[in-house]
Amino acid sequence: MVGWHNNCLISSRMSRMTPTCSQLLLSLADDEPDKEEIILCNMELSLTNLKKNVLILKTFYNDYNLEVITIV
């Protein structure tokens, strides 16, 4: 029972420490208001490019059989 109580306390403290979505976006915009849409578009573009790069790396690893696990 004590473990459950401690988990509840930790969870509630962690949720209070986590910023809201608007606080996070404002922080990413260097505290400039009304930049949320620009930030979200930039994040979406970055994720799209990251996915492309990961796909290229995955193809490279598959083509050259680099994903081999060696047991010593």
String of DSSP letters for the chain: -HHHHHHHHHHHHHHHHSPPHHHHHHHHTTT-TT-HHHHHHHHHHHHHHHHHHHHHHHHHHHHTT--PPPP-
CB atoms within 10 A of CB 39: 17
Full-prediction pTM beyond 0.75?
Answer: no
- Mean pLDDT across the chain: 85
Find the mean pLDDT for residues 52-61: 96
Find the mean pLDDT for residues 22-27: 90
Q: What is d(CA 4, CA 13) in angstroms, rounded to the nearest whole number?
A: 14
Residue 16: pLDDT band by 50, 70, 90 thresholds? confident
Contact 24, 35 (CB under 8 A): no
pLDDT at 71: 74
Find the mean pLDDT for residues 1-15: 65
Find the mean pLDDT for residues 22-46: 92
